[in-house]
Amino acid sequence: MLDRHSRRAWRSSAFRIQALAVLLAAFTLTAMLQLHHALDARFSERTATTLGGDLVLEGSQPPTPAQRQVLQGVRHAQTVGFASVLINENHFLLASIEAVSDSYPLYGQVIIANSRFAEGEPVSGGPPAGHLWLAGTALDRLGLAVGEFITLGEKTFLIGGVLVQEPDQQSGFYSMNPRVLMNLKDLPATGVLATGSRYKQRLLIAAPAPRISALAITLSDGLRPDQTLENAADSSLQQRGPVRQLFLWSRLAVMLILLLCAAAIYLTAALRAHQQQRLSAVMKTVGARRGQLIRRIIVGEMLPLLWPALIGTAMALMAMPALLSWLGMPLADGRDQWQMALGGLASPLLLWAGYALPPLWQRIGLPTVALLREQVVINRRQRLLTLLLAIATPLPLAWLLAGSLMALWPLLLVMAAVAVGLPLLLWPLVSLADRASGRLSLAARLALRRFSRRRAMTLPLLAALTVALATMTLSLHTGQQLIQQWRSTLPEQAPNYFVINIFDQDLPELRRWLTAHGSQTQPLYPITRARLTLINQTPVREAVSKENDRGQRALNRDLSLTEADALPQSNTLLSGTLATAAGEVTVESRLAESLDIQIGDQLTFTAPQQTIDARVTGIREVNWESFAPNFYFMFAPGSLGAQNRTWLTSFYLPPGNSAALTQLVQQFPHLSLLDVNALLNTLQSLISQASQAALALALLLLVAALLVLAAALLATGEQRRKDNRLLVLVGARQGLLKRINGWQAWMLGGTAALLANLLHLLALIPLGQLLFDGRLPLSPWLALPWALALVVTAVALIRHRGAAGQ
Amino acid sequence: MTASSPVLEATTLSKHVQGPEEKLALLEDISLSVMPGDSLAITGPSGSGKSTLLTLLAGLDVPSAGQVYLNGAPFSAGSEDQRARLRGEHCGFVFQHFQLVADLTALENVMLPLEILGRKRPREQAQHWLEQVGLGRRCHHFPEQLSGGEQQRVALARAFVVSPALLFADEPTGSLDYRNGEHVAELLFDLNRQQGTALVLVTHDPALAARCQHQLSLVDGKLHA
Ligand SMILES: Nc1ncnc2c1ncn2[C@@H]1O[C@H](COP(=O)(O)OP(=O)(O)O)[C@@H](O)[C@H]1O
Ligand SMILES: [Mg+2]
């Protein structure tokens, strides 16, 4: 039954466009839900990996039995971090040691190598009992190799591998001592576990999101003063920088695609309703009841649209997993897939109900006479209802897309304002153009008249096209810009090695090594470790509330203070000036906010051998995603004493240059060299994936815009054909008709392009300020709407067919 | 053009179309001629092929066989554009359903053929003809703001504005009430006399047909003397 009706419906071109719109809406929404899901999963996995788990309980003492009890049946691991001395005959080395339980790591893998500078291999789990994995620098300084033995406290261990990378290597960059991994079971036997020494006891927990939220609540209740609880969901990368902007853009683009599909459905529905009108009239005159008419609408109009909705959803379900696995992104599991498919299937039907049903429905209620005379009289109440329905329909879709309306309402508001405001604004302009058209050619005048005489239809269409084109160029432009900006913080040759623990006397030789290997080097930063103790002579502990996480964390550990005479590339000065005279300092903006530090405040830092006083002259925004060295506090040169000072830098060295690295560590055995290649690669692949997604979205947007155009042409086709016949009757040649068609397409396309360009430039003023510090160059993408207008005009000229005869 | 040669001549016109099953003969072997200033009525029952004949005579469609001559020149042999040009120069039209361009005002509708032909001072001429049909004060109204009779009078003004040698009218009073129909018919015959425009009038109204100098009757696509 579905089949027969589908085939009949398919014969109408209005239905075909409607079906295409439904297919596009279903495809876009399903694909987008999947992409968002995958990106979400990808980012939260990355965050969890960096953190060590979905939830991390950290303290200076072991977790309480009650806290362990809560973790029954939940995947978890325990780590104990401490500093201790490794001994090899008469070599001593202070190392930063992490003892890990057998279930470690919960996310990601430890990478170890068989020898210094050999290619690292990921392994599952940590070191077995009796083994130690040592960072390469530790081996360098102890003069040992894999397979040899080393003593920690009262126990001797076999060196089982070179520790290349820990999955949860957080900001370990600034840890002074080489890293060592050992098995937690061996810890008692070493006897280094003495009360009073400083430990970092971590309990890492992995579980599905709902379980984690429940655990977070339970655990945060019984927190000891020394303990903190960190949740991956709170520090998710998504909340940050370029990723968040791209997410927002993609949602706007998808919402717009859906609305354009809605516009196409609406335009064609009026036509379908008109076609159905005579049928309804005939059915009524032969005694059809209301129920039969409703059944006809459902069977003849709605059910046939199930096919394109199904096909669109199925296409997305088939294409996306392939695409995602090609991009190396995680796939949604079965239940989530079903939910997304349901969303993709329901949304176009919702659009149909919101935009196509009203005109059909209204005709059911009309008296037969009105139907036969093709008079459609719609009363005010119905009109209001239709309008309300049209406004309300996108809301559940926005909710489905964004998870909440909060993130989207400003965008929806802007779009609604443009959709309503643009026609109102253009209305008098079109009248003006019409009146001034006397000098135009006949073809241009007739085309303008066709446009201006149907303003109620053409202006909303123009607005829809304008918004679509503007969003397209904007999303291409800013998306590209965002990605470029992101990429520029991570250039091809982003620093892939960090060197720390450089002493004053190493500097000349190190500089020589760096130039010799043509490495692109960041500046050398002097590092002094100190704690922030006073703000304006008030002890900071009193100034910072307990809930203030970032502030707490900054206070509880030694900070790396540095001196610099210039602003690093990854920093932007938000207010104030750079620190130039000794005793001046600039502060990272988010830390300044959480500690309530203002320009002009006096800060006091305490280091073992000195007290440092400085006045705040400026607040800096720091891009923490950049791989350049970044600091909370940057002092003017000469502010920090030279005692206890080490240096830090980062540089880029092409892969496969291990001989140079060997030479470096042999020349400076006390240096710590950190390899961040693996992290960099993940980020770089993420960026290129994001840019591909932005392009795909823009293409879908284009298809949707063309669909609306086709629907509009179809809706006005009848009148156009009639007018053309008349023109031929009074002697018009085909050339004239062709020119009218061309002008008409150009007027619509060109005006839309012009307005889209204006809207684009207008939007750039606040956007440029917001996202790019007012430095947003013009983009060649601005030419795209014009290209489109030209194509549409060319198609109108080519596709024109004469309509002679009556 | 001499007084003795016909302004319109048709020789052995036939029109066939491919029906759902077999070939359908809409018109068969029609010959007729119209002298300048003549008036010819074509009558016949509904579906007898009157409108079809008119479209062939006016060059809106091409016959399957036979030829139409306009002022002695073969009309139906030309290309579509050539036919359009000839039609614009020499023919005017009035139809049952008011054939006005909805987007143009009354004045612009009347100006349209002049502008297409590139004639001079279209506005003045159009204004003049609208006054002739009694609509001098409705120039800037759009078709939807005019009554049926008024729209038909605008169509008449548009038909006469090019000073055609020949006017085709297909049931020009068919959609009008008696009074308006009378008014339009009056105008039609007045102009036919004053301008010397030959008139080809399709109607099934015997009274209207009787006012023409010649009558032809069409039955099942064939002329019936
Ligand atoms: N293009 C066509 N294809 C098939 N049949 C047609 C076509 N045009 C007209 N007819 C048929 O030809 C006959 C004559 O039509 P028409 O000339 O409109 O008659 P009249 O104007 O005398 O009422 C009708 O039966 C009509 O259905
Ligand atoms: Mg007829």
Under DSSP, the state recorded for A157 is E
pLDDT at site A735: 87
Q: Which residues in chain A have their CB less than 8 angstroms from residue B100's CB?
A: 726
Q: What's the B51 CA to ligand 1 centre distance in angstroms? A: 7
Residue of A nearest to B59 (CA): A805
Which atom, in ligand 1's list, is nearest to the CA of B48? 22
Q: Which residues in chain A have their CB less than 8 angstroms from residue B93's CB?
A: 729-730
Four-CA torsion B162, B166, B172, B173, nearest 10 degrees? 100
**Does the pLDDT at position A605 exceed 80?**
yes
**Does the pLDDT at position A128 exceed 90?**
yes
From B18, B42, B51, B204, the mutation candidate for ligand 1 (largest count of ligand atoms within 8 A of CB) is B51
Residue ID of nearest Cα to ligand 1 atom 21: B51
Nearest to A193 by CA among A27, A81, A55, A65: A81
Q: Which one of A442, A723, A804 has the shortest CB-CB distance to B115? A: A442
Four-CA torsion A232, A50, A485, A650, nearest 10 degrees? 150
Answer yes or no: do A806 and B116 touch at CB < 8 A. Answer: no
A399 three-class SS: helix
- Each residue's pLDDT tens digit, A555-600: 666 788 898 888 888 888 888 898 888 889 999 988 888 888 899 9
Whole-Å CA distances, A223 to A56, A524, A630: 12, 41, 32
Confidence of residue B86 (pLDDT cuts 50, 70, 90): confident
B81 contacts A432 by C-beta, under 8 angstroms = no
Answer yes or no: do A726 and B100 touch at CB < 8 A. Answer: yes
pLDDT at site A541: 67
The whole-chain average pLDDT of chain A stands at: 80
Nearest to A47 by CA among A209, A249, A162, A175: A209
Residue of B nearest to A455 (CA): B103
Residue of B nearest to A724 (CA): B101
**Does the pLDDT at position A524 exceed 60?**
yes
pLDDT at site A542: 61
Q: Which of A4-18, A245-259, A346-360 has the lowest mean pLDDT?
A: A245-259
Highest-pLDDT range among A28-32, A400-404, A430-434, A751-755: A751-755
Nearest to B62 by CA among B10, B22, B24, B19: B10
Nearest to A86 by CA among A179, A160, A6, A168: A179
pLDDT at site A176: 57
Q: What is the mean pLDDT of residues A745-765?
A: 86
Q: What is the mean pLDDT of residues A598-617?
A: 89
Residue of A nearest to B90 (CA): A731
Is the peptide bond prior to A127 cis by the omega test (within 30 degrees of 0)? no
**Does the pLDDT at position A380 exceed 80?**
no
B101, B141, B156, best to mutate vs chain A, most A CBs in 10 Å: B101
Q: Convert B194-212 to b/e letters by CB count within 10 Å (16 or more is b).
A: eeebbbbbbbebeebbebb
B8-224 sits in which CATH class? Answer: alpha beta
pLDDT at site A754: 92
Confidence of residue A790 (pLDDT cuts 50, 70, 90): very high
Confidence of residue B110 (pLDDT cuts 50, 70, 90): very high
Residue ID of nearest Cα to ligand 1 atom 10: B26
CB within 5 A of ion ligand 2: which residues? B 51
**Two tokens at A590?**
């988010």
**Whole-angstrom distance, CA of residue A210 vs CA of residue A402:** 19
**Does the pLDDT at position A101 exceed 90?**
yes
Give yes or no for B182 touching A (CB within 8 A).
Answer: no
Q: Which one of B81, B88, B162 has the shortest CB-CB distance to A734? A: B81
Answer yes or no: do A731 and B81 touch at CB < 8 A. Answer: no
A621 contacts A580 by C-beta, under 8 angstroms = no
Q: What is the mean pLDDT of residues A294-323?
A: 86
**Does the pLDDT at position A348 exceed 60?**
yes
Q: Which of A69-78, A526-535, A699-708 has the lowest mean pLDDT?
A: A699-708
Q: What is the mean pLDDT of residues B8-28?
A: 87
Under DSSP, the state recorded for A72 is T
The residues, any chain, with a CB within 8 Å of residue A515's CB and separated by 6 or more, are: none
Confidence of residue A310 (pLDDT cuts 50, 70, 90): very high
N-term to C-term CA, chain B: 28
pLDDT at site A517: 80
pLDDT at site A77: 92
Q: From the CB of B72, is ligand 1 less than 6 Å away?
A: no
Give yes or no for B73 touching A (CB within 8 A).
Answer: no
Amino acid at B169: A
Q: Which one of A450, A734, A804 has the shortest CB-CB distance to B103? A: A450
Per-position DSSP letters for A505-543, written without gaps between them: GGHHHHHHHHHHTT-EEPPPEEEEEEEEEEETTEEHHHH
A703 Cα to chain B: minimum distance (Å): 31
Per-position DSSP letters for A269-319, written without gaps between them: HHHHHHHHHHHHHHHHHTT--HHHHHHHHIIIIIHHHHHHHHHHHHHHHHH
**Two tokens at A186?**
């061996």
What are the φ/ψ torsions at residue B172 (nearest 5 degrees)?
A: -65, -20
Confidence of residue A41 (pLDDT cuts 50, 70, 90): confident
Q: Which residues in chain A have their CB less than 8 angstroms from residue B84's CB?
A: 728, 731-734, 804
pLDDT at site A102: 92
The whole-chain average pLDDT of chain B stands at: 87
A207 contacts A75 by C-beta, under 8 angstroms = yes
Q: What is the mean pLDDT of residues A649-663?
A: 79
Whole-Å CA distances, A271 to A274, A725, A780, B103, B133: 5, 21, 38, 20, 37
**Whole-angstrom distance, CA of residue A384 vs CA of residue A799:** 39
Q: Which residues in chain A have their CB less than 8 angstroms from residue B81's CB?
A: 733-735
Percent of chain A with pLDDT over 90: 10
**Whole-angstrom distance, CA of residue A479 vs CA of residue A484:** 8
**Does the pLDDT at position A172 exceed 50?**
no
- Each domain of chain B, given as residue ranges in start order, spans 8-224
**Whole-angstrom distance, CA of residue A266 vs CA of residue A633:** 58
Q: What's the B53 CA to ligand 1 centre distance in angstroms? A: 10
Q: From the CB of B47, is ligand 1 less than 6 Å away?
A: yes
Q: What is the mean pLDDT of residues A209-215?
A: 84
**Whole-angstrom distance, CA of residue A418 vs CA of residue A759:** 9
Measured at the alpha carbon of residue A78, what is the angle toward residues A77 and A84, in degrees to the nearest 5?
145
Which atom, in ligand 1's list, is nearest to the CA of B49? 17
A9 three-class SS: helix
Give yes or no for B84 touching A (CB within 8 A).
Answer: yes
Percent of chain B with pLDDT over 90: 22
Which atom, in ligand 1's list, is nearest to the CA of B50? 22
Using beta carbons and an 8 Å cutoff, which residues of A are at the interface with B? 442, 446, 449-450, 453-454, 719, 723, 726-736, 802, 804-806
A768 contacts A775 by C-beta, under 8 angstroms = yes
**Does the pLDDT at position A606 exceed 90?**
no
pLDDT at site A614: 92
Alpha helices in A393-537 (DSSP H): 394-402, 409-435, 442-452, 455-489, 507-516
Spacing of C-alpha A700 from chain mean position: 18
Answer yes or no: do B102 and A728 touch at CB < 8 A. Answer: no
A262 contacts A355 by C-beta, under 8 angstroms = yes
Q: Which one of A442, A736, A805 has the shortest CB-CB distance to B60? A: A805
- Here the ipTM equals 0.83
Tokens 């969901």 correspond to: A233
B99 Cα to chain A: minimum distance (Å): 7
pLDDT at site B1: 46
DSSP collapsed to 3 states, chain B:
CCCCCCCEEEEEEEEEEECCCCEEEEEEEEEEEECCCCEEEEECCCCCCHHHHHHHHCCCCCCCEEEEEECCEECCCCCHHHHHHHHHHHEEEEECCCCCCCCCCHHHHHHHHHHHHCCCCHHHHHHHHHHHCCCCCCCCCCHHHCCHHHHHHHHHHHHHCCCCCEEEEECCCCCCCHHHHHHHHHHHHHHHHHHCCEEEEECCCHHHHHCCCEEEEEECCEEEC
A729, A734, A747, best to mutate vs chain B, most B CBs in 10 Å: A729
**Whole-angstrom distance, CA of residue B36 vs CA of residue B180:** 28
- Each residue's pLDDT tens digit, A245-276: 667 677 777 888 888 888 888 888 878 887 77
**Whole-angstrom distance, CA of residue A316 vs CA of residue A162:** 45
Q: Which residue has the higher pLDDT, A714 or B139?
A: B139
Q: What's the A504 CA to ligand 1 centre distance in angstroms? A: 104
Q: What's the B47 CA to ligand 1 centre distance in angstroms? A: 6
Nearest to B206 by CA among B74, B87, B43, B48: B43
Confidence of residue A464 (pLDDT cuts 50, 70, 90): confident
A487 three-class SS: helix
